[in-house]
Amino acid sequence: MASTEKPSRAAEGQTKDVFIRRLERLMRLRRDYLDDLNPLGLRLLDRALYATYRDCLEYGATQKANEIMAQHPIPGWDEDVRKAS
């Protein structure tokens, strides 16, 4: 695909689904392994969560991403998101 071509709607939908599933998986990992992670591991996981959250926003999956984040709140998450915006 040339750089000037836009991806099809189906491809965009698949991309959204990939990012949403990744966000769900990272949230599940954070919840399940919170007590096992050292501070560096937790920080890395939180950065992966944030990057994936931003990908969701960029690809138009804002509502679903916010729903996932609301189900499993992360302390300080709102502050971090406001700083980065």
- What pLDDT score does 79 carry? 59
pLDDT at 80 over 60: no
Band (pLDDT 50/70/90 cuts) for residue 3 is low
Quick check: 30 and 43 in contact, CB under 8 A? no
Place of tokens 């990272």: 26
**Each residue's pLDDT tens digit, 59-76:** 999 999 999 998 877 777
Q: Which residues contact 39 (CB under 8 A, 6 or more apart)?
A: none
Q: What is the mean pLDDT of the chain?
A: 84
Confidence category of residue 4, pLDDT binned at 50, 70, 90: low
